[in-house]
Structure 1
Amino acid sequence: MKPLMSAAEIAEKVKGLAYKREESKLETGSSIQAGLESLINEERSKLPIAGFGDAITSAVESHQVIHISGETGCGKTTQVPQFLLDYMWGRGEACKILSTQPRRISATSVSERISYERGESIGETVGYKALLLNFLKHVCVMRFIFVKSMSFNVKLLLVSHCLLTT
């Protein structure tokens, strides 16, 4: 598979996101921004799946297909894509994640939640496509697609990780 971004482009993207986060802290007041980030990280760390990030990325590295099951609300849908993205970018490797969603509202709400957790706007790193709603840009590396929308021009050859949600 041809990498979607070179190591230099990944490094530039990570540096740009870090710069944007620092810039946002200055605009909104560093104590407010730091408090918000702390609250988000605290919420994420309380999820049952939080302690399994390394095990999940290791399993993905070792196997073509893995099955992750857990109770509703344990963080499978919001955290696993972030584990994978952070892991791949941490290694300086290109990554493009496609996550199917069974409902249109799931595609929109999950992508908005992950964008919020990452301190980004929808369409920067995370986007979605659900019928006529399309917040996918070329730069989006994490895409949430309503299952019925998959019949529309989805190029799976360009995807590094595919997450199927039922």
Structure 2
Amino acid sequence: MPNRRRVAPPVLLFTAVALLASGCFLGPSDPADTTLVGARVEGETIVVKIPLCPSDELRRVEVMDWDKAEDTNPPIVWWASGPRTASAKRGVVRLWSAEGFDRHAATPAPVPRTLDVAYLDPRGEGRDYVVSLPAVAAAKLKPGQYWTDDGPRTAAQIDARLDCHTVT
């Protein structure tokens, strides 16, 4: 049948182009991004370690309700700005607490099970990380360690994942 038309290759090509153009493919949004946020439970307090380079200083932290991530803009349930202690400036944040910050929101009620923790540095740059509170609470940590997606890490190990020598 020499006159038989091949339909599959053009259809497959069109589908591949459409998926790539729409961004609908599986893979990390930034494969080179190896940064991690750390979290741990201290009594009834959640302490988060945000990765920062030695020259960076935290400016603002926002916590969104990731359980409502299907919303276009998940609600901000807590924020803090104007760090005034050395630990807050270096990215150690006690969520729901006024400790270390000039301004902050009140504790949310109820506290969401999954948080999206976002931050801004003095240049206005920042990132966000999703933290599962049940996973953090269940983590077996040694003193000074934080739960991360890659296992227990110290604050220094979390900061060391950043490429602080890249000129931007």
**TM-score, normalisation: structure 2:** 0.24
Q: Which has the higher Rg, Structure 1 or Structure 2?
A: 2
